[in-house]
């Protein structure tokens, strides 16, 4: 019965001017998304049953099979996986940090290891602490002041910056490169302020890198409340010590997969439009906003097309990328196979900024295509989505740029993203169904218009 109604509506709409046809179909896409709970329940299952799905884990393997099965059950034209080898880093079950002061007493801090960090031995490290806010400060202190100490990187994100991602970018270098920079001067370990504007007791993890030829020392992040406490105590007792234990370690690489589902194009099947997010998530949380939401939204685009009888001219492909958080090997493998198979990627869109209310889209392309894409804003104004700007992409789709693919970012409201990013509270309960589905519908509409009008 539902299929008959869809066909009748399509027949009536064919008699209307193109703009009215588009407006009617866009309304139907939003209506279907905002009245369905299917995507939300898929996100619930992913979060609650594959918590801690960092690449190479059994939880990541379960997430691969779940999303593959969801797309198989939808009856898509094609569902398949791409093999790739990923790093296998395991946090371990002991993460401990205690401040010890002869003047102030002792206090435990909320810490968690940084991704790919080495661990300590069983006894841990007990050492004096020196606080810095930049690599320049580190250089001025030199080896004499740093050797044997634990370096405490305490540069906060700038809360006055409206663009939270810019503030994140200006603070994250201490997390990524701090261990090697401190090790150059003989530091025994580093403890890094969580990269978030939130003031709470939740440590925010993330990947870090070691430079070749530099000793590898343990690296942990500390909650912002813990960082504030440690800084305050150091002002009162510069000779306090920190006892740090972490038993994370790295194992040999293991096999994992990208997961892909397609609706094959009706007239230009060899031109591919991708929508995607990354399936892996940090092991201390459920990965709801980062990036379960983006994966489920990408699958939902295909469901919306199936339910509403939308047959795109081009092949629309939902991609669940693996290993974005550690080494981006899923992105590399996808681009490698795309080149090997001579695939033409017309447009690629990434959703990896959380499942919050969408504000618009960012586009990276040549000027001759950019004007038409920015002009699509008018279709979205009735839904309060008005920020269409130059500059789009994402970690997983950026490797496609060299082939001339238009790169697009879904841009949701960004102000709360940093509260949850890489933290234990990035859970299913933090995602609002309407905000999630506004994002799903927005992506589906944008791709529909790009495909229809050859933008």
Looking at the annotation, which residues are catalytic?
Answer: 324
C-alpha span between 104 and 146 (Å, rounded): 23
Nearest CA among 39, 34, 79, 114 for reference residue 288: 39
| Burial class, 409, CB count within 10 angstroms (exposed 0-12 / middle 13-18 / buried 19+) | buried
Q: Which residues pair with 113 in a beta bridge?
A: 220
| Cβ atoms of 185 and 132 closer than 8 Å | no
C-alpha span between 173 and 120 (Å, rounded): 23
Going by their DSSP bridges, the two strands 358-364 and 344-350 should be labelled as unpaired
Complete DSSP assignment for 167-205: HHHHHTHHHHHHHHHHHTTT-SEEEEE-SSS--SS----
Rounded alpha-carbon distances, angstroms, from residue 56 to 114, 190, 336? 16, 26, 20
| Cβ atoms of 285 and 430 closer than 8 Å | no
| Cβ atoms of 379 and 26 closer than 8 Å | yes
| Helix, strand, or coil (residue 436) | helix
C-alpha span between 418 and 410 (Å, rounded): 17
How far is CA 391 from its chain centroid? 18
């Amino acid at each position: 019965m539902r299929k008959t109604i869809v066909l009748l509506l399509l027949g009536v709409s064919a008699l209307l001017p193109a703009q009215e046809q588009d407006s009617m179909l866009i309304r139907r896409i939003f209506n279907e998304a905002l009245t369905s709970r299917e995507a939300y329940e898929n996100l619930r299952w992913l979060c609650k049953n594959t918590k801690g799905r960092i690449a190479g884990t059994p939880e990541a393997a379960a997430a691969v099979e779940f999303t593959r099965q969801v797309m198989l059950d939808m009856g898509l034209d094609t569902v398949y996986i791409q093999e790739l080898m990923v790093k296998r880093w395991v946090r371990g079950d002991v993460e401990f940090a205690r401040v010890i002061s002869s003047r102030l007493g002792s206090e435990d801090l909320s810490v968690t290891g940084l991704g790919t960090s080495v661990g300590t031995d069983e006894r841990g490290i007990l050492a004096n602490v020196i606080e810095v806010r930049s690599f320049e400060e580190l250089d001025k202190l030199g080896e004499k002041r740093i050797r044997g100490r634990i370096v405490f990187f305490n540069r906060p994100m700038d809360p006055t910056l409206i663009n939270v991602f810019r503030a994140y970018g200006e603070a994250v270098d201490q997390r990524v490169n701090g261990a090697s920079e401190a090790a150059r001067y003989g530091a025994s370990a580093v403890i890094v302020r969580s990269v978030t504007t939130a003031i709470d007791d939740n440590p925010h993890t993330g990947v870090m890198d070691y430079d070749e030829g530099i000793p590898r020392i343990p690296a942990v992040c500390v909650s912002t409340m813990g960082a504030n406490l440690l800084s305050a105590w150091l002002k009162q007792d510069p000779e306090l010590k920190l006892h740090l234990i972490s038993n994370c370690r790295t194992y040999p690489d293991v096999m994992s997969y990208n997961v892909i589902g397609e609706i094959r194009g009706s007239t230009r099947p060899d031109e591919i439009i991708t929508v995607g997010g990354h399936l892996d998530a940090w092991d201390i949380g459920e990965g709801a906003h980062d990036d379960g939401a983006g994966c489920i939204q990408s699958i939902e685009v295909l469901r919306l097309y199936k339910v509403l009888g939308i047959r795109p001219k081009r092949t629309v492909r939902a991609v669940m990328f693996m290993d974005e958080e550690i080494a981006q090997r899923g992105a590399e493998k996808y681009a490698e196979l795309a080149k090997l198979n001579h695939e033409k990627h017309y447009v690629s869109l990434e959703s990896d900024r959380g499942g919050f209310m969408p504000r618009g889209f960012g586009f990276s392309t040549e000027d001759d295509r950019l004007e038409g894409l920015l002009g699509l804003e008018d279709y979205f104004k009735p839904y309060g989505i008005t920020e269409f700007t130059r500059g789009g992409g994402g970690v997983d789709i950026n490797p496609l740029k060299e082939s001339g693919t238009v790169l697009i970012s879904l841009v949701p409201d960004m102000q709360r993203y940093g509260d949850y990013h890489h933290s234990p509270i990035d859970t299913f309960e933090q995602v609002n169904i309407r905000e999630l589905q506004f994002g799903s519908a927005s992506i589906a509409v944008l791709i529909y218009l790009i495909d229809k009008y050859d933008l």
